[in-house]
Amino acid sequence: MTERAAAGLWVGVVSLFPEMFEAIARHGITGRAVATGRVALEFWNPRDHATDRHRTVDDRPYGGGPGMLMKVDTLRAAIHAARQRAVEATGQRPRVIYLSPQGRRLDQRGVQELASGPPLVVVAGRYEGIDERVVEADIDEEWSIGDYVLSGGELPAMVLIDAAARLVPGVLGHQDSAVEDSFNAGLLDCPHYTRPEEIDGRRVPQVLLSGNHGAIRRWRIKQSLGRTWLRRPDLLEGRALSDEQRELLAEFIEEYA
Amino acid sequence: MTERAAAGLWVGVVSLFPEMFEAIARHGITGRAVATGRVALEFWNPRDHATDRHRTVDDRPYGGGPGMLMKVDTLRAAIHAARQRAVEATGQRPRVIYLSPQGRRLDQRGVQELASGPPLVVVAGRYEGIDERVVEADIDEEWSIGDYVLSGGELPAMVLIDAAARLVPGVLGHQDSAVEDSFNAGLLDCPHYTRPEEIDGRRVPQVLLSGNHGAIRRWRIKQSLGRTWLRRPDLLEGRALSDEQRELLAEFIEEYA
Ligand SMILES: CCCCCCCCNCc1ccc(CNC(=O)c2csc3nc[nH]c(=O)c23)cc1
Ligand SMILES: CCCCCCCCNCc1ccc(CNC(=O)c2csc3nc[nH]c(=O)c23)cc1
């Protein structure tokens, strides 16, 4: 992996439920990326660092109250082992990410930052979270995937890894990547149609059957802009449109009214 | 499940990768909720509805261009089977949800809406998505989990299911649920501390060792408000604070400056 570290993505995962990550390590685009060595995933389970008979990984909060926290010694041992291995595997110091509802909200710009930097150690929390001094001492950045409450950091970690993996060169086939790089990054997608020509009386828009590639391209840009205007106007604010895009959006709005 | 339909959560999942859902069906809080029957998960794979030799589940887009779409007949057969089973299992018509980057952005309010309504059929897309006429004919609502691009709808579906499952009565232990119901819903959490009293020279805040439960409660509210003010001021806008909350936040800001 050392030679691949620059182009590839190395991720060390700290989690009490490493088996959950089979969802991305064994299936689909991420599964292939792992199988072909473009993405490296390694796991550290705090439970493997427990020395007591019950292999305890939780502990009570100072000040009382309901809920437990991740036990400090086993958590830190796992983070430190992952960090050391990141250096061995890639020659770089990793960025240590804690998935947390208190974190910076992930968006595609954040994914690009995370995918293009040093190797990652991602810490998935369970229970009520982790000790604040561990955040201060061992964590570089906290990230959240959205304003909803989940039962742990594993699904968020998988979301982060899946989104980042797609940006690694060679992970997407030519087909997919071409679409992603297209004009409409940051806009909603246009409607898509496939066989048959009629479904429950609904027909494919004529232009898509016309073979007129210029008209098809303009229709798609117009739909993409129009949908973004209808559903996610926030994505259009502060965004400069080209002359063509402005005209197509104006047409859409005109026809919509 | 019929008798449990009111209190429980029934979810039919339409996906080309049902095994990915083991991540939530076998582990942690959701795994226990499935094992105890509070959450029912059933799966429909479009591939099981394919009749050709290659069991094809993708098809080409009208109008050309890179990327494939989900094949219409196999997808619809799976959605229709899931919908019919939902009625049999719960006596209610399900809400059919398509996870899509074009959808309404999920937040905790949306999770509450989805968890408290009829049974759900969640459709996880792959490739570039699904035919727009299938959305019109078969989908009730489109939801997105955030502004980042993933390789399919499975992780988003699991995020939705995990967040909704936590709201089902009995799924969280008393401990966890108490925390969730507490004053600070919609605010960021306060810092937490557990053993030992000192980590790398950092000590636990004295108040948490004081045994003064009133002071501890106020400190936690103050930290929660302060952190939200620092990191997520958008969560405080348009939110009415109680007199006590206003005073505690003012103290935090005073000390911060
Ligand atoms: C407006 C959002 C406010 C969220 C406030 C949540 C406060 C509840 N604290 C207890 C708690 C700690 C940890 C979790 C587990 N969640 C994650 O580890 C997590 C990690 S990243 C993430 N992104 C969105 N949602 C999430 O729940 C997460 C769940 C509840
Ligand atoms: C500012 C966000 C703009 C997103 C625009 C994405 C347009 C790219 N279309 C191709 C595409 C289709 C389907 C996917 C798979 N994603 C989901 O099925 C998905 C389903 S819900 C969801 N929520 C956030 N992100 C997601 O990618 C998803 C990925 C790329």
Q: SS3 letters for A46-94?
A: HHHHCCCCCCCCEECCCCCCCCCEECHHHHHHHHHHHHHHHHHHHCCCC
Residue B220: its chain A contacts at CB < 8 A? Answer: 63, 65
Taking the model in full, what pTM does it have? 0.97
Query: B41 in helix, strand or coil?
Result: strand
The distance of Cα B239 from the centroid of its chain, to the nearest Å, equals: 23
Query: B47 in helix, strand or coil?
Result: helix
| E strands, chain A, in order | 9-14, 39-44, 58-59, 69-70, 95-105, 120-124, 141-144, 198-199, 202-203
What is residue A179's predicted lDDT score, i.e. its pLDDT?
58
Tens-digit pLDDT profile for chain B (257 aa)? 444 445 899 999 999 999 999 999 999 999 999 999 999 999 999 999 999 999 999 999 999 999 999 999 999 999 999 999 999 999 999 999 999 999 999 999 999 999 999 999 999 999 999 999 999 999 999 999 999 999 999 999 999 999 999 999 999 987 776 555 444 579 999 999 999 999 999 999 999 999 999 999 999 999 999 999 999 999 999 899 999 999 999 999 999 98
Largest CA distance in chain B: 71
Reported as half-sphere exposure (CB side, CA atoms, 13 A), residue B99 has a value of 29
Task: Tell me which residues have their CB closer than 6 angstroms to ligand 2.
Answer: A 179, 186, 188-189, 235; B 99-101, 125, 128-129, 144-150, 152-153, 156
> Are B178 and A66 an interchain contact pair (Cβ–Cβ within 8 Å)?
yes
List, for chain A, all residue ranges whose pLDDT scores fall below the cut of 70.
1-6, 177-184
**B128 counts as catalytic:** yes
**A61 counts as catalytic:** no
Q: Does B148 appear as a known binding residue?
A: yes
Q: Which residue has the tokens 């059929």?
A: B121
Structure tokens at B257: 């400056």
What is residue B195's predicted lDDT score, i.e. its pLDDT?
98
Residue B19: its chain A contacts at CB < 8 A? Answer: 23, 26-27
Partners of B121 in the β-ladder:
B12, B96
Strands B39-44 and B58-59: what pairing? Answer: unpaired
Alpha-carbon span A22 to B26, nearest angstrom: 12
What is residue A173's predicted lDDT score, i.e. its pLDDT?
84
| Mutation to test the B interface, candidates A9, A98, A194, A236, most B Cβ within 10 Å | A194
- What distance in angstroms lies between residue A188's CA and the mean position of ligand 2's atoms? 9
**A104 counts as catalytic:** no
Q: Give residues with Cβ within 8 angstroms of B115, minimum separation 6.
A: B9, B163, B164, B165, B167, B168
Q: Are A124 and A15 in contact (CB under 8 A)?
A: yes
Alpha-carbon span A71 to A240, nearest angstrom: 49
Q: Which residue of B has its CA nearest to A66?
A: B175
Structure tokens at A184: 């409409």
Strands A198-199 and A202-203: what pairing? Answer: antiparallel
Alpha-carbon span B162 to B164, nearest angstrom: 6
| CB neighbourhood size of B34 (10 A) | 22
What is residue B180's predicted lDDT score, i.e. its pLDDT?
58
Q: Does A67 appear as a known binding residue?
A: no
Query: B94 in helix, strand or coil?
Result: coil
What is residue B1's predicted lDDT score, i.e. its pLDDT?
46
Counting ligand 2 atoms within 8 A of each CB, the residue from B102, B122, B149, B155 with the most, and so the one to mutate, is B149
Reported as half-sphere exposure (CB side, CA atoms, 13 A), residue B49 has a value of 22
Structure tokens at B73: 């007949």
Instruction: Identify the CA nearest to A34 among candidates A152, A158, A141, A123.
Output: A158
Alpha-carbon span A181 to B115, nearest angstrom: 36
Counting ligand 1 atoms within 8 A of each CB, the residue from B107, B158, B189 with the most, and so the one to mutate, is B189
Q: Are A44 and A52 in contact (CB under 8 A)?
A: no
Nearest CA to ligand 2 atom 7: A189
- What distance in angstroms lies between residue B101's CA and the mean position of ligand 1's atoms? 22
| Mutation to test the B interface, candidates A107, A192, A206, most B Cβ within 10 Å | A192
Counting ligand 2 atoms within 8 A of each CB, the residue from B150, B151, B159 with the most, and so the one to mutate, is B150
- What distance in angstroms lies between residue B125's CA and the mean position of ligand 1's atoms? 26
Atom in ligand 1 nearest the alpha carbon of residue B186? 1
Q: Are B115 and B107 in contact (CB under 8 A)?
A: no
The residue type of B37 is G
Q: Give residues with Cβ within 8 angstroms of A76, minimum separation 6.
A: A134, A138
What is residue A183's predicted lDDT score, i.e. its pLDDT?
47
Residue A135: its chain B contacts at CB < 8 A? Answer: 191
Reported as half-sphere exposure (CB side, CA atoms, 13 A), residue B248 has a value of 20
Residue A192: its chain B contacts at CB < 8 A? Answer: 61, 69, 128-132
Q: Are B87 and B96 in contact (CB under 8 A)?
A: no
Q: Are B248 and B218 in contact (CB under 8 A)?
A: yes
Alpha-carbon span A202 to B137, nearest angstrom: 9
First to last CA, chain A: 56
**B73 counts as catalytic:** no
Structure tokens at A31: 């599964």
Atom in ligand 1 nearest the alpha carbon of residue A145? 23
